[in-house]
Amino acid sequence: MNILYCSSEAYPLIKTGGLGDVSGSLPGALQELGNDVRLVLPAYPEVREHAGPLSSIASLTLSGAPQPVEILKGQFPHSRVELYLVDSPVHFQRPGNPYVQEDGSDWPDNAARFATFARAIVALALGEADPHWTPDLVHCNDWQTGLVPALLSQHGTRPATLFTIHNLSYQGLFPKAAFTALELPDTLWSIDGVEFHDKLSFLKGGIACSDWLTTVSPTYAQEICTAEFGYGLEGLLKYRAANLTGILNGMDCEVWNPATDAHLEHTYDVHTLQHKALNKAALQQELGLPADAGSLLLGHIGRLVEQKGVDLILDTLDELFQLPVQLVILGDGEELLESRLQEAAARYPHQLAIHIGYDEPLAHRIEAGSDCFLMPSRYEPCGLNQMYSLHYGTVPIVHSTGGLADTVIDLNDMTARDYTATGFTFEPDTPAALLDACQRALAYYQGSRVDWWKLVITGMKKDFSWSNSAQQYLSLYERVCQVTPEGDAGPGNLDYPVIPPSPLKGKSPPQQSMMR
């Protein structure tokens, strides 16, 4: 199959979170299965810098874009995947984060930036940008590419479309005026299109107009159809449930492999687990914690936003640090959480080390050096760090939600006895439940060493490689291509209950773009 994979980020060229990890590895895994997969990204400065040789294959005049947009072609690093870059300097040639300005607020022209990206993708999808290649299926990801299925739905003959929701809370919501300014087709301003409570929703365009929907874990696929997780889109998602599939993300086992990890001084595998203690000592030294081999060293890495539950960790510290426990946290995001973490580190200098910032090598060292990894996310579409943790023999302690519930098997009498346990899960998402899970982990850690290492090794042997998930995507692509009718111009006639977006218990309000 010819597949055009569309994303606003892909590791190692540009990454702000899990979307970057997935877009950096799934296209390669699909290519390995015998498909012609091409990845399309915006031509951000760092992408251009690291993408290798590029040639211009088209210059497009797109409505809504003030200048012609160049399509550049090259090769995605370390793969056989071909790369298209959408080069619109006025939109993408700027330093910093792809979505937000230095002060953390969204780029004010995000609607125009990602509408241009979408229009360039539509040109590629219809063979107007690269006359030598047209896709059978266009795979879009998150709100930044949500207009692609909406715009393609206007065309009689078009490739099939599949839209993956990586996080429903990032919606690309803009005032109605943006719809007019972008010169989008009038027919899209409807309940069946991009209109969402009198606003323009890029995400809704993807959900309402794509032929098939996926999200990144089976449990999250069910959760988003409920009021608690649906952000007012649950009616539409429930309506589309027959065309909604949850496929668990895989992980890149070359980038995240403790046996070959270039960021580690002491690599290891299941046969050399004694090296894990060396990584623990090195991490304690690097982050200024006492070299205490007996303490349970907990790690946490993530965006400092309400979703990830760092405030739950903060609220347990006074009790947690009565125990022989140390904690290292790497993250950046909301200022209030950053300053609360810094204050806590000053209060507990021997037990808490905080590193504010984005640091890929340190993330690898935390995965290798910690005994346990905390993920108290209020909701988690898939989550990658718990999979990296399992692979690195670092026992995850997770809130039982979304992809965390799908990947971590709680230790209880039965799962301990038959050696199927891989970690500790807790519910509800409260400091008390988190503390209880940490206490259970500590007790197990202080108990039989043989039992602890069995728990560690069971996790390390789990297969979270892309091969299984890529095969599931491929089967779905084939099915979608078979059922997609030709000539279905315009969004469908959806008849689903409209639910006003309500304030959600414990959830942050919908946001325009990823925070970093």
Interface contacts to ligand ADP, rule CB under 6 A = 17-19, 21, 167, 301-303, 330-332, 358-360, 363, 382-385
Cβ proximity to ligand ADP, 102 vs 418, nearer residue: 102
CB nearer to ligand ADP: give 358 or 424.
358
Tokens 């959480």: give the residue: 337
Q: CA 13 to CA 385: how far, in whole Å?
A: 20
Q: What is the DSSP string of 72-140?
A: EEEE-TTSS-EEEEEE-HHHH--SS-SSB-TTSPBPTTHHHHHHHHHHHHHHHHTTSS-TT---SEEEE
State which residue has the least CB distance to ligand ADP.
Answer: 18
Q: Residue 390: name the closest of 464, 452, 330, 329 by CA.
A: 464
* Phi, psi dihedral angles at 195 (to 5 degrees): -80, 130
Of 280, 244, 217, 319, the C-alpha closest to 480 is 244
DSSP character at residue 271? G
Shortest distance (Å) from residue 317 CB to ligand ADP: 20
For the CB of residue 487, give the shortest distance to ligand ADP in the complex, in Å: 37
Nearer to ligand ADP, 31 or 307 (CB): 307
Closest distance between ligand ADP and the C-beta of residue 360, in Å?
5
What minimum distance in Å lies between the beta carbon of 172 and ligand ADP? 16
**How big is the chain, counted in residues?**
516
- Closer CB to ligand ADP, 311 or 332, in the complex: 332
- As a whole number of angstroms, the distance between CA 376 and CA 316 comes to 12
Query: 155 or 263, CB closer to ligand ADP?
Result: 263
To ligand ADP, the closest distance from the beta carbon of 193 in angstroms equals 27
Q: How far is the CB of 304 from ligand ADP (least distance, A)?
A: 8
d(CA 416, CA 436): 18
Q: Which is nearer to ligand ADP, 54 or 168 (CB)?
A: 168
CB of 11 to ligand ADP, least distance (A): 8
Residue 164: helix, strand or coil by DSSP?
A: strand
Q: Which is nearer to ligand ADP, 218 or 490 (CB)?
A: 218
Strand ranges of the sheet holding 199-201, from the earlier edge strand across to the other edge? 173-175, 199-201, 195-196
Angle among Cα 112, 114, 115 to the nearest 5 degrees reads: 60
User: Whose Cβ is closer to ligand ADP: residue 193's or residue 459's?
Assistant: 459
State the DSSP H helix or E strand holding residue 4, giving kind and residue range, or none if neither. Answer: strand 2-6
Q: How far is the CB of 15 from ligand ADP (least distance, A)?
A: 7
HSE-up of residue 277 (Cα within 13 Å, Cβ side):
8
Q: Which of 142, 122, 141, 121 is nearest to 27 (CA)?
A: 141
CB closer to ligand ADP out of 402 and 431 = 402
Residue 99 near residue 42 (C-beta atoms within 8 A): no
Q: What is the nearest approach in angstroms of ligand ADP to the Cβ of residue 87?
A: 26
